[in-house]
Amino acid sequence: MRRGTLQHQEDRERDDERYLALLGDRVRAARSRRGMTRKILSRQSGVSERYLAQLESGRGNVSIILLRQIAAAMNLDLAELVQDGPDRPVEMALILEQLAELSTDDLADLHRHLRQRYTPEAGESGRIALIGLRGAGKSTLGRALAKRLELPFVQLNKEIEAAAGMSQDEIFDLLGQAAFRRLERQCLDQVVEAHPRAVIETGGGLVAEAGTYERLLSSCHTIWLQASPEEHMARVAAQGDQRPMAGNREAMDDLRRILSGREGLYSKADASLDTTGRSIGACLDALVEMAPNASKNSA
């Protein structure tokens, strides 16, 4: 009996270690998708860099393990205990159980089906949204595309700054990233309502917010502008803007991690264009070909 108890305890400890390692990986991946350094996350969360380093290395606080054990004893997912807001509808819980059995490819197919079923207007939209990391050419090409198609050009970050009455840097410094993301969603909704036809330049981190990104995908024809990490860095440096890599000696490594963390999200766009080594004219011609509906509407 004692041997069995010891074995059970050892198994639980190994399982706890695996869970904490997975939790650390998820925190680090989420931070990378949002382009946040550990220092920035520490400042905006009020949690020390030392603790964040421990958490990301798989040595998180034991309290999370205790909550997990409580949830397991009731045969609940931990997320059900710690989620904000009211309990999910029963239908949502049942749907999530079904989704858990699907492969990645099946989930991608289901997502496409849901978009076609419930937001069929997205494919016919006169709105073209450019997504991608800063330095891919969204501003230059977006402005040129809008002019070519005779559509309004809307820079979502400028709309956010106008709504907040302060610059993007000030929003992040004074209010934090969470506040910026809430403003981003509000302004996107306003832009969609105000502009049935437009070219919209979005911020690079918008895709990390699932609700905001789904709103964009369901209301616009989205195009992912890509570039090599080296070209991204060169263009950003030429603009005199080093966010979010300011003061970081490993800027290129950070940039590669951000690109890697967001690649799966950016790839959900309706089309993509690699701008690396290509002229503005060539890229513009390619974009026009990718936006036939907007071109037709503007004729």
The alpha carbon dihedral of 171, 172, 178, 182 has a sign of positive
Q: Which residue ranges does the chain devote to CATH 1.10.260.40?
A: 2-107
Which CATH architecture fits 109-298? 3-Layer(aba) Sandwich (3.40)
Q: Is 252 exposed, middle or buried (0-12, 13-18, 19+ CB in 10 A)?
A: middle
238 Cβ partners below 8 Å, 6+ apart?
none
297 Cβ partners below 8 Å, 6+ apart?
126, 197
Average pLDDT per consecutive 10 residues, the chain (299 residues; last block may be shorter): 68 83 88 86 89 88 81 79 77 82 86 74 77 91 96 96 93 89 96 95 93 93 91 76 54 82 91 92 94 52
CA-based angle 181:185:186, to the nearest 5? 115
Which two three-digit tokens encode residue 268?
């959900």
Q: Which residue ranges does the chain devote to CATH 3.40.50.300?
A: 109-298
Topology (CATH) of 2-107 = 434 Repressor (Amino-terminal Domain) (1.10.260)
The reply to whether the predicted model has a pTM over 0.85 is: no
